[in-house]
Amino acid sequence: MRYKPKFDNVTRKSIVILISGRGSNMQALLEANLPCRVAAVISNRADAPGLAIAERHGIATQVVSHRDYPDRESFEAALAVAIDRYQPDLVALAGFMRILTPNFVARYQGRLINIHPSLLPAYGGLDTHARALKDGVKIHGCTVHFVTSDLDHGPIIIQAAVPVLMNDTPETLAARVLREEHRIYPQAVNWFCRDYLRLDADGKKVLLNRVEQPGITLIAPGLK
């Protein structure tokens, strides 16, 4: 039986966005005219430039500084209180530079997503562009995925691939990937808010209620 989206029959969903820095992916979400409400932007850094961007968009902001807490667990307890104040349907990590404990991840299971600058499961962790260039890969990209306790290995929602060019540096490759991040993260949130995606029974694979795109292939370098 075909999965039927329930968007037309439900209340508009709300999301909370977590950031640590400039928040370019957060800004892409705020400017995407999504079918949901951004309830708040929360940062673990008071000097995160993204907070000012959120405020200019009329979004409530809050700082929960990890430096104010003696350990990761107490920080995450305070962060959860701040998040739950807004009762979000979705928590979106947008450059949130803190590794989350399994207990925190379990609290928001199935409604915590992240964007990562590689084609997962390749190049989890940091310095993804430099590592891709060192390995000589010809295709690189970005991934939106559900967060699990296995770092950067949660169920994949959407990916975008870009060619790696001969004279690329980590900076030029990062800029090319970032443009695709700004495209696919709003798409993933759009699907979530419209109930167009769900996890399978094992919680390991994302099922999408959308038209497939057979024959769409990226080859790099291109064929002659």
- Give catalytic residue positions: 116
* Residue type for position 168: D
Q: In 3D, which of 77, 59, 78, 56 has the Cα closest to residue 14?
A: 59
Q: In 3D, which of 136, 140, 139, 146 has the Cα closest to residue 128?
A: 140
Q: Which residue has the tokens 């699990």?
A: 148
**If you ran DSSP here, which 8-state letter would residue 119 be given?**
S
Backbone φ/ψ region at 25: left (φ over 0), alpha (ψ -120 to 50), beta:
alpha
How far apart are the C-alpha atoms of 62 and 218, rounded to whole Å? 41
Give the residues across from 10 on adjacent strands. Answer: none
Per DSSP, the three-state class of 60 is strand
